[in-house]
């Protein structure tokens, strides 16, 4: 049997401590790696920015998918939705929404006809 211990299970107070030469070699290798620290830091900061962008993109896609799924489910049940000018959502039966859309289109057409008529009467035609 071997008298050496596996360092994974050996408590830290029983493990060998590095001697001075090992510490100096480790320090020298760290100094030599120092030139790469700037590139590592910029890479890490890019990684942080990339993570933030990925999270924002993921939240946007999930929210958009949930809204589309909700709209599809409403349509299957015979309902529809409309985003109003006041930034609110109006949910109603599809038949009522069609009637309201026709009414709004007719009102808009009448308003534009009235404006054209008033412009013509002002110009003397």
**Is pLDDT above 90 for 7?**
no
Question: Which band of pLDDT confidence, cut at 50, 70 and 90, is reported for residue 65?
Answer: very high
pLDDT at res. 68: 93
Cβ-in-10-Å burial (0-12, 13-18, 19+) of 92 comes to: middle
Q: What is the structure's pLDDT at 114?
A: 76
């Amino acid at each position: 049997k071997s008298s050496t211990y596996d360092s994974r299970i050996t408590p830290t107070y029983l493990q060998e401590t590095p001697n001075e030469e090992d510490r100096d070699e480790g320090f020298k290798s760290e100094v030599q790696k120092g030139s790469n620290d700037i590139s590592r830091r910029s890479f890490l900061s890019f990684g942080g920015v990339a993570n933030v962008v990925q999270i924002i993109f993921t939240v946007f896609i999930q929210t958009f998918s949930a809204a589309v799924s909700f709209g599809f489910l409403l349509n299957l049940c015979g309902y529809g939705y409309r985003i109003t000018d006041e930034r609110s959502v109006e949910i109603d039966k599809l038949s009522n929404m069609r009637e309201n859309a026709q009414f709004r289109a007719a009102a808009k057409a009448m308003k534009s006809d009235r404006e054209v008529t008033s412009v013509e009467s002002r110009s003397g035609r």
